[in-house]
């Protein structure tokens, strides 16, 4: 049973959150595998543009183009098990107060994916990502500082407590929450209502270079220049 003091603090939040999603640094021609001729590419592009549903806010509503900066998490076809949802009834949008925190969070998931797929590889495996600033205007439940009394808020091995908490917050019609990261000293936001998010802007591109066998993850903002270095084993 959830204790009343767990949800006793709120914050009237009006600031940017950072969203870190898979992407590519260099745009690709989506139709060059269909024909070797540039004229055919132009025809395909024209056909795609003619069939596209118009949008006043394409960076939010066109997930194929922008990776679902906001809308992706609230589309029921994309619901999955996360810290504050079991994926069956609702989706949760996650962002961070610090860019670095998004790196630790996404590096954990990327490392697990590589572990499951290429565990025996002693080589560098590279992925590219894109970070956005997203405006959030909302009254949020504030869980920061409560992990000492409620350590399951940052439990790395089990989401049982936080999913129960997320279900309660969702059922109460709350907007979302701020919480400490389980991977680093930063802070995250879990947003339950898309209407509280707006004004998506590019922040930076990122490249992750991971070698599991050597327990090294190098993160670049500028290609070829190390920005962060993480030991993946510390994220588990």
The verdict on residue 38 lying in a domain is: no
The verdict on residue 43 lying in a domain is: no
Work out the percent of the chain whose per-residue pLDDT is above 70: 83
Q: Which residue has the tokens 């999913």?
A: 163
Instruction: Count how many domains the chain has.
Output: 1
* Contacts of residue 201, Cβ cutoff 8 Å, sequence gap at least 6: 132, 133, 134
Q: Is the pTM of this model over 0.75?
A: yes
The verdict on residue 36 lying in a domain is: no
The verdict on residue 122 lying in a domain is: yes
Structure token pair of residue 100? 């670095």
The verdict on residue 37 lying in a domain is: no
Owning domain of residue 114: 4-22+55-235
Please check the confidence at residue 5 and state whether its pLDDT lies above 80.
Answer: yes
The verdict on residue 35 lying in a domain is: no
Reported residue count of the chain is: 236
Please check the confidence at residue 54 and state whether its pLDDT lies above 80.
Answer: no
């Amino acid at each position: 049973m959830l204790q009343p003091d767990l949800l006793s603090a709120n914050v009237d939040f009006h600031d940017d959150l950072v969203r870190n999603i898979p992407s590519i640094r260099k745009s690709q021609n989506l139709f060059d595998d269909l024909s070797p001729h540039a004229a055919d590419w132009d025809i395909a592009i024209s056909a795609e543009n003619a069939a596209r549903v118009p949008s006043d806010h394409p960076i939010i509503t066109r997930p194929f183009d922008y990776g679902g900066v906001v809308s992706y998490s609230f589309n029921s076809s994309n619901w999955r098990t996360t810290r504050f949802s079991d994926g069956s009834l609702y989706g949760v949008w996650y962002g961070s107060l610090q860019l670095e925190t998004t790196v630790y969070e996404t590096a954990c998931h990327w490392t697990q994916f590589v572990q499951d797929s290429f565990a025996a590889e002693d080589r560098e495996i590279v992925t590219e990502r894109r970070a956005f600033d997203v405006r959030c205007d909302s009254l949020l439940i504030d869980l920061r500082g409560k992990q000492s009394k409620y350590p399951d808020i940052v439990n790395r091995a089990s989401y049982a407590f936080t999913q129960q908490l997320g279900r309660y917050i969702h059922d109460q019609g709350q907007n979302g929450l701020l919480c400490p990261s389980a991977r680093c000293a930063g802070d995250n936001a879990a947003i339950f209502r898309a209407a509280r998010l707006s004004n998506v802007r590019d922040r930076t591109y990122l490249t992750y270079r991971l070698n599991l066998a050597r327990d090294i993850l190098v993160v670049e903002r500028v290609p070829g220049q190390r920005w962060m270095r993480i030991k993946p084993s510390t994220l588990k």
